[in-house]
């Protein structure tokens, strides 16, 4: 990694002319803004403006008639009253939070364990597992959903067969999606399987920074593997953990396509997460205002996580 980013100094220091202070021309002050302008324009157009529209829509009655007229009807806080007073909304919110907690927790724990294992293996095994991780990581989400949905197929799913062979006859000819808990177990597996490689590879890269001398000193002092992990590795890796966890929360809180595709674009109500709920309210029921209010709740929840992430970035001096 190092040799790729570090730039070889082709010029001998002696040949570098004494740095003269160049006169600041007025053009120089303007140019950074000119350079930023195109990127900023696209970001504002595609993300900033829609975000503003989202807020506006959430205060409006916006159905098919309004879509055709291109003009919403202002109704104040009615949409929020509707969703906050709806038991269904709270159930979906709770389910989304639980789903995020479980998937992020599993991803972080398994990712860390794999990283620790990688640090203890020889070069060949390490290369083998890293290759596997990269292969899994590179699977497009739509592809991995299809693979898993084939593996848990009612009649011919290889997972059903395997579990039945292990003596769990319950899983022979088993439909995983009748019971939403089992259905979510499959969805969790898809999401966690896809998310582990990034976490494991990043933590492993971080582990290589933990100095061997410190670990050795601690182990001479009689610290066990767990103590060493808790008191040396963990504090050093904390910034990485915070960043990985906040990214994972953001990604898993808005899981959409996995559920949408595995439920054949017609997810039952007990498979609703906030993203699906907001989507169905908007595009299936044509209640765009109500859908926007739900989506805004998502955005606000994510704002808190984003804050943690940005603060960590500022702390490690990444944003200067």
Distance of alpha carbon 295 from its chain centroid, rounded?
A: 17
Instruction: Output the 3-class SS for the chain.
Output: CHHHHCCCCCCCHHHCCCCCCCCCCHHHHHHHHHHHHHHHHHHHHHHHHHHHHHHHHHCEECCHHHHHHCCCEECCCHHHHHHHCCHHHHHHHHHHHHHHHHHHHHHHHHHHHHHHHHHHCCHHHHHHHHHHHHHHHCCCHHHHHHHHHHHCCCCCCHHHHHHHHCCCHHHCCCCCCCCHHHHHHHHHHHHHHHHHHHHHHHHHHHHCCCCHHHHHHHHHCCCCHHHHHHHHHHHHHHHHHHHHHHHHHHHHHCCCHHHHHHCCCCCCHHHCCHHHHHHHHHHHCCCHHHHHHHHHHHHHHHHHHHHHHHHHHHHCCCCC
- Choice between 5 and 181, CB closer to other proteins: 5
Q: How far is the CB of 240 from other proteins (least distance, A)?
A: 5
Closest to other proteins by CB, 184 or 259: 259
Minimum distance of other proteins from residue 289's CB (angstroms): 9
Residue 163 beta carbon to other proteins: minimum distance, rounded to whole angstroms: 12
Q: Toward other proteins, which CB reaches closer, 29 or 178?
A: 29
Question: Could you tell me if 297 and 274 are in contact, meaning their C-beta atoms sit under 8 angstroms apart?
Answer: yes
- Residue 184 or 246: the one with the smaller Cβ distance to other proteins is 246
Report, in Å, the least distance between residue 233 CB and other proteins. Answer: 14
Shortest distance, position 5 Cβ to other proteins, whole Å = 6
Shortest separation between residue 116's beta carbon and other proteins, angstroms: 11
Q: How far is CA 314 from CA 238, 243, 250, in A?
A: 14, 12, 19
Minimal distance in Å, beta carbon 114 to other proteins? 7
- How far apart are CB 109 and other proteins at their closest, in Å? 14
With respect to other proteins, which residue has the nearer C-beta, 221 or 320? 320
- Closest CB to other proteins among 83 and 298? 298
98/142 with CB nearer other proteins = 142
Q: Toward other proteins, which CB reaches closer, 84 or 143?
A: 143
Distance CA 250, CA 138 (A): 20
């Amino acid at each position: 990694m190092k040799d790729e980013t570090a730039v070889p100094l082709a010029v001998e220091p002696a040949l570098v002319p004494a740095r003269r202070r160049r006169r600041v021309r007025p053009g120089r002050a303007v140019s950074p803004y000119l350079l930023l302008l195109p990127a900023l324009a696209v970001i504002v157009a595609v993300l900033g403006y829609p975000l503003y529209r989202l807020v506006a829509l959430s205060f409006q009655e916006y159905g098919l008639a309004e879509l055709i007229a291109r003009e919403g009807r202002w109704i104040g806080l009615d949409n929020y009253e509707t969703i906050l007073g709806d038991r269904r909304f709270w159930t979906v919110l709770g389910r989304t939070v639980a789903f995020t907690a479980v998937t992020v927790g599993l991803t972080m724990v398994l990712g860390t364990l794999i990283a620790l294992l990688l640090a203890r293996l020889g070069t060949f095994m390490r290369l083998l597992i890293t290759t596997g991780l990269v292969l899994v990581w590179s699977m497009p989400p739509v592809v991995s959903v299809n693979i898993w949905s084939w593996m848990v197929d009612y009649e011919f799913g290889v997972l059903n067969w395997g579990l039945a062979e292990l003596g769990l006859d319950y899983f022979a000819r088993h439909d995983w999606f009748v019971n939403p808990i089992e259905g979510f177990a499959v969805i969790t597996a898809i999401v966690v399987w896809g998310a582990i490689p990034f976490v494991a590879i990043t933590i492993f890269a971080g582990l290589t920074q933990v100095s061997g001398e410190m670990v050795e000193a601690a182990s001479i002092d009689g610290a066990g593997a767990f103590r060493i992990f808790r008191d040396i590795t963990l504090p050093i890796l904390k910034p990485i953990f915070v960043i990985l966890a906040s990214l994972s929360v953001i990604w898993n809180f808005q899981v959409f396509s996995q559920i949408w595709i595995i439920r054949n674009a017609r997810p039952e109500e007990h498979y609703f997460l906030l993203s699906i709920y907001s989507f169905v309210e908007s595009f299936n029921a044509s209640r765009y205002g109500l859908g926007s209010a739900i989506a805004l709740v998502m955005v606000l929840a994510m704002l808190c996580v984003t804050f943690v992430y940005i603060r960590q970035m500022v702390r490690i001096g990444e944003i200067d």
